[in-house]
Amino acid sequence: MIQISAKELIKALQKSGFIFISQKGSHIKLRKERPIRKTIIIPNHKIIRPGTLNNILKSADLSEEEIKRILKK
């Protein structure tokens, strides 16, 4: 499992089509409208825990490899 900050993860998710919706405290809400509307919540931490990252990636229908590839662009 990769170690990634919330800032890096948000950047990668935005490149894959998610947009910033809101922030409440340390939780950031992102949404993707197409093909199916998906909303995910990301904790604004320096390093996101592996289990949390895994759940976020499942919700976003992305793999760890896809995130790595997006961040290298």
- pLDDT, tens digit (0-9, with 9 covering 90-100), for 17-70: 999 999 999 999 999 998 889 999 999 999 999 999 999 999 999 999 999 999
Question: What is the SS3 assignment for 19?
Answer: strand
CB of 5 within 8 A of CB of 45? yes
- Please tell me the predicted confidence (pLDDT) of residue 23: 97
**1: pLDDT confidence band, cut at 50, 70 and 90?**
confident
pLDDT score recorded for residue 36: 87
Domain 6-72 has CATH 3.30.920.30: yes
pTM of the model: 0.90
